[in-house]
Structure formats: C-alpha cells, structure tokens
Amino acid sequence: MVNLTRIYTRTGDDGTTALGDNGRTSKTDARLAAYADTDEANSVIGVATACGNLPVEVQETLARIQNDLFDVGADLCMPLRSSYEWEPLRVRAEWVTELEADCDRYNADLPSLRSFILPGGTPGAALLHQARTVARRAERSTWQALETYGDQPAGDGAGKGEGGVNPLTATYLNRLSDLLFILARVAAKVGDGDVLWTPGGGREQRDPQAT
C-alpha cells in the first residue's frame, strides 16, 4: 500500500533521489530520466483526457494506459535483481500485445494516409500528438538507461541501486507512441480530420533563375 503523509522530505536537496530498492542515485541518472519522461508522458495524456473532448472509448483506453505508465515508471525505478524480498511490478509482454490490438482496432476505421500529419486539427488531436512525442522521448531515455545499465539482473550480493533495466519498458513505450498517433487521428475526426503536411508549405515552386 502507498501511504503518503508528507510530500516534501528534503532528502533530495543534495541532488540525489531514491530508487525503488531504496538505493540512491543522481537526479541526472539515465534511469531516473527514463521514468521522469514516462511520468511526463502520463501527465500529457491526462491533459488530453481532461481537455480534449475525446470519444468515451478513447478515454477508457487512455485510462488503462495511464495506470500502465505508473507501472512502467515503477519498473524503471527498480533495478533488476536475481531475487527480491517482495516481487516488484514489471511490464509484461501481454501489455504490449494489448497496445498492438488497440492499434489494429482503432486504425481499422481510419482512412489510409497519403501524407504525413501536422499536429493539430482539434484540441484532443493536438494534445495526443504532444503525448506521442513525449512517449518517444521516454522511449529514447529508456534505451539510454539500457545502454548504461544493460538488461541483466544483479546478483544477490550486489548493492542497492545496482542491476539492469527491463527491456520490455522500452518496447511498451515504443508501441504506445504508435497508438497515440492513431488515437490522435481518431480525435481529429471530431473536427475536419487530419491536417496533412504539404511539402514546401504550399508555396509555389518557382524557377530561381526567373525574374
């Protein structure tokens, strides 16, 4: 159970923060950056659901994803170990399968794309595009953490804060960004649909030698 009785603790005033195993790490640590960016993605999704006038089905899908993202963050802040006193939350392969099923289901009702899309169209579409870009950043940060710490568990004799990163966290965030792109298109249908990219911004193509 989570029991938050105080919000400020002053323990991070030295530039460090606690990991899930009570080890401490720098606030610039790659592992911390990964779950901080994941938290930001969750927050942007929250703005989209609160302000985006999204279809009820989309809101329900995003509510599940917001809970998942808390679990992704919990996974990222807990270094992999060969054994634990209590089994931690870990992202599972079936969560990725759920996202793929969502992608297929929502994409089936959308028209084929013949250009790239500009973020915008409706508030919901714009906010979901923003969430998509933050999810991509969270994925990149997670890959940076994987490059730094690897994906292998630390042995029983390892100190706190030691151990790899679950690679399924990166896979989940990758698939999530795909789904958020699709959901942004769904949200755009409330208005006039996708805002398509026009190469050159629609400017007339002129001969530079012409006068």
Q: Which two tokens stand for residue 21?
A: 């195993």
Per-residue confidence of the chain (211 residues) as pLDDT tens digits? 555 555 545 555 556 666 656 666 666 688 999 989 999 999 999 999 999 899 999 999 999 999 999 999 999 988 887 777 777 789 999 999 999 999 999 999 999 888 899 999 899 999 999 999 999 999 999 999 999 999 988 777 666 767 889 999 999 999 999 999 999 999 998 778 888 888 887 676 555 565 4
What's the pLDDT at 203? 75
What's the pLDDT at 174? 98
What's the pLDDT at 68? 97
- Give 110-161 pLDDT, tens digit per residue: 998 888 999 998 999 999 999 999 999 999 999 999 999 999 887 776 667 6
∠ CA 131-136-141, rounded to 5°: 120
| Dist CA 188 CA 110 (whole Å) | 11
Distances (CA, A) of 183 to 81, 153, 171, 207: 36, 36, 18, 41
Average pLDDT, the chain: 86
Which distant-in-sequence residues (6+ apart) come within 8 Å of 191 by Cβ? 121, 122, 125
Distances (CA, A) of 186 to 13, 101, 114, 175: 44, 15, 16, 17
What's the pLDDT at 178? 97
H helix or E strand, kind and range, residue 138:
helix 123-149
Domains of the chain and any CATH numbers? 24-191 (1.20.1200.10)
What's the pLDDT at 149? 92
Q: Using the 8-state DSSP alphabet, how is residue 154 labeled?
A: B
User: In 89-210, where do the E strands start and end?
Assistant: none
What's the pLDDT at 71? 95
What's the pLDDT at 200? 85
Which distant-in-sequence residues (6+ apart) come within 8 Å of 179 by Cβ? 61, 65, 99, 102, 103, 106
Q: Please choose, from the candidates 49, 185, 57, the residue with its C-alpha nearest in 3D space to the C-alpha of residue 113.
A: 185
What's the pLDDT at 2? 57
Q: Which two tokens stand for residue 181?
A: 């792109």
What's the pLDDT at 81? 78
Q: Report whether 134 contacts 41 (CB < 8 A).
A: yes
What's the pLDDT at 17? 66
DSSP string, 71-116: HHHHHHTS--BS--SSPPP---HHHHHHHHHHHHHHHTTSPPPSS-
